[in-house]
Amino acid sequence: MIDTDTLRQAFVHHFGGEGFVFFAPGRINLIGEHTDYNGGFVFPGAVTQGITAVIHPNQGATVNLFAADLQRRCTFDVNDSEGPADINFRYVYGVVRELIAAGVAVGGFDAVYGGDVPLGAGMSSSAALESCFAFALCTLFGGHLDRMALARIGQATEHKYVGVKCGIMDQFASMHGREGSLMRLDCRNGQFEYFPWQPKDYQLLLINSCVKHELVGSPYNERRASCERVAALAGVETLRDCSWEKLETLRPQLSDEDYRRARYVLGEVDRVLAVCEALQKDDYEEVGRQMYLTHEGLSRDYAVSCPELDFLVDEARRMGVSGARLMGGGFGGCTINLVRAELYDRFLDEVQRTYRTRFGIDCQPIPVAISDGAKRLQ
Ligand code: GLA
């Protein structure tokens, strides 16, 4: 979380006076990648990094934003049906419009915001931004939407105003996070359970490849389209309900690409359940094994990895890390590593060195602590 004083001072500078302070986090995901829009399971947790916003209603219908990280301002009217062209501001604009459509009487407001979720790392900086404003504006303008409804506001924003047909995982995690717990969400029915995550002898470590991915205009939507084509042929609503037998029966009618995409998804749904079972037995080595299998699937069948991420995962395996895989949508971003405590420092040193030698750039370690979801700070 960034220093709120700096944001409050910026608020005084740009708009004068005090504002209310809200925060919403980014997320990690232990396992269950690209399963959310397929009605499957995901296993995310919120992190301490996130977006903080200082906000005050201004009585009018004008929204005045100052994005501290970009050092840029933007103004729009809550009734404007087009919204700003600058993609950076369409997240907040979309949230405003979706809240209004859901019956929340959002009026004008002034806001300064900024954050510390590394951009393009696959930790959902955009979901943090949507969740922060969805939660803040619903609170400040007297709305009565629950956290799941607010998560859906963020998701609808991605779909309609940004053009990414994402699932619900990121916004869900940002809204529902709980310190010290991961969550298993069944994306078919929205039911979820908290799983305490405090392994004694293991730590989670993210390593940012520092290769930036951009889901807007990326093959993310194409992956989703592949899944939907297979589900339609199988006569099920989402791939979650397609059996392995059915997929094999359909194989002659599918392009090799669509077949492999679906094979990954079916495998990943099974892997989340295998991880839950392993967790119940405190079997973290098995959790890690499943993570490596996920990476193989994401790299070979789902084709969302890249040489940098494959290298980081291979290095983790070579050094005896219990589990590693690319995390999030892919096409760059970071790996998530399950590392035995005694290996942590050695792995960190060595992987940074070998990565630099191989690619001529630095990777960035990101320590994670599992934390709470969207909240009001002051
Ligand atoms: C992005 C999307 C999520 C999810 C992941 C992949 O983060 O926003 O909905 O699909 O990719 O698991």
Torsion over CA: 196, 199, 203, 206 (sign): negative
pLDDT of residue 126: 95
Verify whether ligand 1 is closer than 6 Å to residue 94 (CB atom): no
For the Cβ of 170 lying below 6 angstroms from any atom of ligand 1, the answer is yes
8 Å CB contact between 213 and 330 = yes
Q: How far is the CA of 158 from the centre of ligand 1 (A)?
A: 11
The strand pairing partners of 46, in sequence order, are 27, 371
Distance 169 CA to ligand 1 centre (A): 6
Distances (CA, A) of 198 to 202, 284, 371: 8, 11, 12
CA 323 remoteness from chain centre:
20
Ligand 1 pocket residue status of 323, Cβ below 6 Å? no
Can you tell me which atom of ligand 1 is nearest the CA of 167?
9
The preferred substitution site among 166, 187, 291, 336 for testing ligand 1, maximizing ligand atoms within 8 Å of CB, is 166
CB 330 within 8 A of CB 29: no
Residue closest via CA to ligand 1's atom 11 equals 329
Distance of CA 43 to CAs 177, 183, 214, Å? 11, 5, 23
Q: Which of 172, 179, 209, 194 is nearest to 369 (CA)?
A: 179
Distance (Å, rounded) from C-alpha 28 to C-alpha 371? 10
Q: What is the pLDDT along the chain (378 residues), one digit of tens a residue?
A: 888 999 999 999 999 999 999 999 999 999 999 999 999 999 999 999 999 999 999 999 999 999 999 999 999 999 999 999 999 999 999 999 999 999 999 999 999 999 999 888 889 999 999 999 999 999 999 999 999 999 999 999 999 999 999 999 999 999 999 999 999 999 999 999 999 998 989 999 999 999 975 655 568 899 999 999 999 999 999 999 999 999 999 999 999 999 999 999 999 999 999 999 999 999 999 999 999 999 999 999 999 999 999 999 999 999 999 999 999 999 899 999 999 999 999 999 999 999 999 999 999 999 899 999 999 998
From 166, 150, 198, select the one nearest 33 (Cα to Cα): 166
- Amino acid 138: pLDDT: 98
Q: What is the DSSP letter of 171?
A: H
Is the pTM of the predicted complex or chain greater than 0.85? yes
User: How far does the centroid of ligand 1 lie from the alpha carbon of residue 36, in Å?
Assistant: 7
Q: From the CB of 25, is ligand 1 less than 6 Å away?
A: no
Amino acid identity at 292: Y
- Tell me, in angstroms, the distance from the centre of ligand 1 to residue 168's CA: 8
Show the domains of the chain with their CATH numbers.
4-191+372-376 (3.30.230.10), 202-368 (3.30.70.890)
Can you tell me which atom of ligand 1 is nearest the CA of 32?
A: 12
Measured in Å, residue 206 CA sits from the centre of ligand 1 at: 17
Q: Tell me which residues are annotated as active site.
A: 170
